């Protein structure tokens, strides 16, 4: 990770269905209004990516296909953050930290992880060596039952069949592993309760406060 970059990169992390996509445009707009430097939004275009949808559906129908899905996501996320313009700050929907969390969840779910599963975990860490420094993670924490219901309500065909137990597992892995990941990569962790959503204005002010602390440090 680049420890001397001139811009801030804030990653929004959280469970499936927590409300990241709804929040992000509002948060990016608020941050640009509060900061001297404009903020750009980096969002995962999952609904318009046919390969993402194909691999997600295959994974949902057959958990043994998870590695193909996760590798595709990891490669896309790594490519998206290459050569970012230092004239902007950035807010991103999920970072490579997400891949570490989901990899832990998938390893926990597998009956007998094989070499490909373990190699993938270390491949993510290798990609993080060339990844921009994640200045801070905003973890949108929610009741996993609420996240599951939100996932169902958005009606994505590729997600049909995802069990509630998997959403619970993802929640548990975020709570357990995300603090350790952030500590390892010298990233500030801001956890906010998003079970009943929250205020984008107030969250933007918290992010700006974190950035000021990071600048002072």
Q: Which residues are annotated as a binding site for ATP?
A: 14-22, 150-154
From the list 35, 28, 16, the residue with the least C-alpha distance to 200 is 28
Joined together, the tokens standing for residue 153 give 């309500």
Joined together, the tokens standing for residue 174 give 């975020």
**Quick check: 194 and 143 in contact, CB under 8 A?**
no
| Total residues belonging to the chain | 217
Residues tagged active-site = 93
N- to C-terminal Cα distance for the chain? Answer: 18
Which runs of E-coded beta strand occur in 65-211? 89-93, 136-141, 188-193
Q: With the CA atoms of 75, 81, 82 and 83 taken in that order, what torsion angle do they form, in degrees rounded to the nearest 10?
A: 170
Q: Which residue has the tokens 């804030």?
A: 10
DSSP bridge pairs for 89: 39
Count of CB atoms situated within 10 Å of the CB of 34: 14
């Amino acid at each position: 990770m680049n420890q001397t970059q001139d811009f801030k990169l804030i990653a929004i992390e959280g469970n499936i269905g927590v409300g990241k996509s709804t929040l992000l445009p509002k948060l990016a707009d608020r941050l640009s209004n509060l900061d001297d430097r404009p903020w750009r939004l980096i969002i995962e275009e999952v609904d318009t990516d046919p390969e993402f949808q194909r691999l997600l559906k295959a994974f949902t129908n057959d958990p043994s296909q998870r590695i193909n899905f996760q590798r595709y996501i990891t490669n896309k996320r790594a490519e998206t953050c290459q050569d970012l313009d230092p004239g902007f700050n950035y807010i991103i929907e999920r970072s490579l930290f997400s891949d570490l969390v989901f990899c832990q969840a998938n390893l926990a779910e597998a009956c007998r992880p094989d070499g490909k599963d373990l190699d993938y975990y270390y491949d993510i860490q290798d990609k993080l060596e060339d990844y921009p420094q994640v200045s801070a993670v905003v973890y949108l924490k929610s009741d996993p039952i609420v996240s599951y219901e939100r996932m169902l309500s958005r009606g994505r065909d590729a997600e049909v069949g995802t069990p509630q137990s998997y959403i619970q597992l993802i929640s548990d892995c975020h709570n357990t592993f995300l603090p350790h990941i952030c500590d390892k990569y010298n990233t500030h962790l801001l956890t906010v309760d998003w079970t009943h959503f929250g205020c984008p204005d107030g969250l933007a002010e918290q992010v700006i406060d974190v950035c000021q602390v990071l600048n002072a440090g």
